A and B are shown apart, each in its own frame.
Chain A
Amino acid sequence: MSSEAAAHHDDHTPSYWSWKRWVYSTNHKDIGTMYLVFAILAGIIGGAMSGLIRWELAEPGLQVFNNGFWGNSHNYNVITAMHGLIMIFFMVMPAMIGGFGNWFVPLMIGAPDMAFPRMNNISFWLLPFSFSLLLLSMFVPGVGGDNGFGGGWVMYPPLSTSGHNGPAFDLVILSLHIAGVSSILGAINFITTIFNMRAPGMTLHKMPLFAWATLVTAFLLLLSVPVLAGALTMLLTDRNFGTTFFDPAGGGDPIMFQHLFWFFGHPEVYILILPGFGIISHIVSTFSRKPVFGYLGMAYAMVAIGFIGFIVWAHHMYTVGMNVNLKAYFVAATMIIAVPTGIKIFSWIATMWGGSISFRTPMIWAIGFIFLFTVGGVTGVMLANAGVDQAFHDTYYVVAHFHYVLSLGAVFSIFAGFYYWYEKIFGVKYNEMLANIQFFFFFVGANLIFFPQHFLGMAGMPRRYVDYSDGYAFWNMVSSIGYVVMLVGMFFFLLVLVESILLRNTPKRRPEANPWGESATTLEWTLSSPPPFHQFNELPKIK
């Protein structure tokens, strides 16, 4: 694109301060930015909730939910349920898919925008409403005299039907329905964009891995979210219209809900991590100054993970009293997932092998991700075995497992991507020193929080407990101290943001189109930072 044309377009860039620019936005980059800001806000709220949880669990007895200001044990359950739902639906998904997906899928495939820009606008703007409903649910009657829904993010009936007779859970259902619509619209948009709007010459087998990851994720969303929607609708009618889908008194079966939920739920956990896989691949390659090792293997490993992810759901239900042969099947299927997961990890290391690695901030986060995700992955292999899961199911071992893959896996990949693209998105350099300090506190803090939880689970501590017996005191205290360490890291994150805003006009912070050098090969680095309001008026040609 000639610089004249670029300047011409810059003239049309609406002011940051025009509300119409954001509310009416059909621009994938603006929408992506809104998603990122939304995710940060939701993450702060969800993170504050986990602070309440760790404060409560710091020592035996009731510290926080002791019938005082924060309410009682029911309110503890409300906080844990909301923490889970917020982190999954309003932090990780908006950041990865809505934020990075919107920003970089069109840029990486050389497209001017998403296929359906107005639908993109709706996808985003449904989320604040959905989130508001979820938050509102905490302040309306849930059960008895207590407010809010305290039935876990898994929402099992009968606790979510007869066990919560107040309107709080109806609001949760509505909230998730709306979030689900948002996700499905987003998925349709990504699939259409990736299939139809790749630049000339960019075959699927030349497409950057982050776009691959988003494509697989979008399919998982498209196929799994409707199942959740159906299950939620059945809960809604069981609660309000006298159906008995999940009520044995009317011929229904509460376990049916669990099957439906986890048919959504297991693909969902991969929805949360696959975009991270894509991000990590780019970062590792860029900073090792080497092409991604085994590109096709990497792409098809994600496809395989996505596919197998649909046939393993009942490994979350080993203790419901399933037929033993069925359990044996789910053990075998679940363990198979470890193979493509292993391929990804080894390929990242092979990408670094022989490389010339510079330890810039995104790379540090990426290496942290690889190690921590490995720890979470191997405990997944442990849990896959129904025989030993009988000891670990619903204990803190499971909590440790999924936080290693999510709080340390998915979140680390989000931060890696955030710092990789910060300059590209916001048009300003950040202070690497501060960001590295944040990494340090996050790495130490998150490990302190979650590693001891393996021990708690081995000793038998059940999850979702507001108060535990005295034999679990020590590691819980360690875990809560870890939270404080991570909180310090969080302040450094906010400091990075504030500092870069304040110093945005200093020469040292002036953005470059491509700060990482020639090994950053994807198309977004061929554009200015931030890119022009509309890009690729002339489509790039891929050799």
Chain B
Amino acid sequence: MRFQAALIAFIASILFASGASATVRGIATDKQVSLQEAATPVMEAITSFHSMVLWIITIITLVVLALLLWVIVRYNAKANPNPSKFSHNTLVEIIWTAVPVLILVVIAVPSFRLLYLEDVLPTEQNEAGETVSAVDMTIKVTGNQWNWTYAYPDQGGFEFISSMVAAEDIGPGQHRNLSADLPMVVPAGQTVRLEVTASDVIHNWAMPAFGIKMDAIPGRLNETWFYVEQEGVYFGQCSELCGRDHSFMPIELHVVPQDVFDRWIAAAQNDPYTAPEVLTAYYQTQGETQLAALR
């Protein structure tokens, strides 16, 4: 029964596919067979590296498959009743050792470049020609069982707790298991540093569209960064098993223009728990009725 209902739902969803509201960007779409669309330079780099390696491993797999099919067809007992007895061939042995090494080197070079891009906080030159940090602002993220605390030390140090919207409270335009009551908000076009830690057990702050996944570990302060140009709503999920409600502590992040961010900050310094009204007002002016209806 359940299966049938689900199958019907699938067929219906194929026929009447309706995209999520325009500004929701960071979210998986059903039947997707690719990475989420990149929102940061890091995720763009991950995506192109992934494509390259995917080509390589697909070709390797197909070569192995082709060889297997060939021996099955050519060397089955009917086609080849008398087996040869060779068991060595130095040349091919050298080739199948050396060629994989070369392939790995080809993979390794861009792999290291990507790794350092992700890991090292970006820098820039100031007027004096010195290299300085390019970080514009810092947000501190703390994982708790089972919600997130976001603190804005550069903007007066207010903080708030962000929890999942329960399934029964999901409104139009909200997403089950993804929407949070209070979103994290950042300005578009700024380099944001995240400091990630946890208060109880290990969690992981992960945002697929940004290519970020950072463990939140009690007693440690981990650091990562992102830079998003595109305004929109992005969703992520806790990615380290943290107990019963591990599946239910999502991350909702709004990237908004600087002026909206400034207004949100001003409101949040006053009361973070009503500050999302600023976002609502902004989305209304933009005609994003679904987003506006959220709060």
A residues with CB within 8 A of B: 58-61, 63, 72-74, 77, 143-144, 146, 150-152, 156, 158-159, 162-163, 248-249, 253-255, 288-295, 297, 319-321, 324, 327-328, 331-332, 335-336, 338-339, 342-343, 345-346, 349-359, 367, 370-371, 374-375, 378-379, 381-382, 385-388, 390-391, 393-395, 455, 458-462, 464-475, 477, 519
Contact = CB atoms under 8 A, between A and B. Distances in A.
Contact of B53 (A60, A371, A382, A477): A382
Contacts of B36: 459-460
Contacts of A72: 244
A327 B112 CA distance: 9
Interface residues of B, number: 101
A324 B115 contact: yes
Task: Pick the most buried of A151, A359, A391, A455: most chain B CB atoms within 10 A of its CB.
Answer: A391
B153 interface: no
B216 to A, nearest CB: 10
A354 B84 contact: yes
Contacts of B208: 391, 459-460
Interface in B1-47: 2-3, 6-7, 10, 27-36, 43, 45-46
Interface stretch (B128-136, B172-180, B183-191, B261-269): B172-180
A471 B34 CA distance: 13
A327 B64 contact: no
Interface string B140-159: 00000100000000000000
A464 B241 contact: yes
B239 A393 contact: yes
Contacts of B76: 356-359
Contacts of B60: 374, 378
Contacts of A338: 100, 104
Nearest to B247: A465
Contacts of A378: 57, 60-61
17 contacts: A60-B176, A77-B241, A77-B243, A255-B217, A321-B196, A331-B108, A331-B111, A350-B92, A354-B84, A367-B72, A378-B61, A381-B53, A390-B212, A391-B211, A391-B213, A393-B239, A459-B36
B33 A458 contact: yes
B63 to A, nearest CB: 9
Nearest to A332: B108
A143 to B, nearest CB: 7
Nearest to B250: A469
Contacts, number: 303
Given A293-B88, A339-B101, A159 B241 contact: yes
A208 to B, nearest CB: 14
A467 B30 CA distance: 15
A77 B34 contact: no
Contact of B243 (A61, A163, A461): A163
Nearest to B43: A391
A519 B83 CA distance: 11
B111 to A, nearest CB: 4
Given A336-B104, A339-B100, A352-B71, A458 B241 contact: no
B247 A73 contact: yes
Contact of B50 (A356, A382, A477): A382
Nearest to B178: A469
B100 A295 contact: no
A308 to B, nearest CB: 13
B246 A77 contact: yes
5 pairs of A and B residues whose beta carbons are closest in the complex: A248-B219, A387-B114, A460-B208, A471-B28, A378-B57
Contacts of B167: 61
Contact of A349 (B27, B34, B64): B64
A370 B75 CA distance: 17
A449 to B, nearest CB: 15
Given A77-B244, A332-B108, A350 B75 contact: no
B101 to A, nearest CB: 6
B293 interface: no
Contacts of B214: 319, 321
A470 to B, nearest CB: 6
Interface stretch (B197-205, B271-279, B280-288): B197-205
Contacts of A156: 202, 240-241
Given A388-B53, A477-B6, A249 B28 contact: no
A254 B213 CA distance: 18
Task: Pick the most buried of A61, A290, A321: most chain B CB atoms within 10 A of its CB.
Answer: A321
B88 to A, nearest CB: 6
B97 to A, nearest CB: 6
Contacts of B245: 73
Given A163-B243, A391-B46, A455-B33, 15 more contacts: A73-B244, A156-B202, A290-B87, A350-B89, A385-B111, A387-B111, A394-B239, A459-B32, A460-B28, A460-B208, A462-B206, A465-B247, A467-B248, A469-B28, A475-B31
A462 B237 contact: yes
Interface in B86-106: 86-89, 92-93, 96-97, 100-101, 104
A467 B250 CA distance: 12
Contact of B64 (A345, A352, A355, A386): A345
Given A328-B115, A381-B53, A386-B115, A162 B215 contact: no
A293 B87 CA distance: 4
Interface in B212-239: 212-215, 217-220, 222-223, 235-239
B242 interface: yes
A460 B82 CA distance: 52
Contacts of A374: 60-61, 64-65
A362 B235 CA distance: 47
Given A156-B202, A319-B204, A321-B215, A470 B176 contact: yes
A342 B49 contact: no
Contact of B88 (A59, A253, A294, A339): A294
A42 to B, nearest CB: 23
A391 B32 contact: no
Contacts of B202: 156, 158-159, 254
Contacts of B86: 290, 293, 354
B166 interface: no
B211 to A, nearest CB: 6
A354 to B, nearest CB: 4
A371 B68 contact: yes
B139 to A, nearest CB: 16
B83 A339 contact: no
B224 to A, nearest CB: 8
A469 B176 contact: yes
Contacts of B242: 159, 163
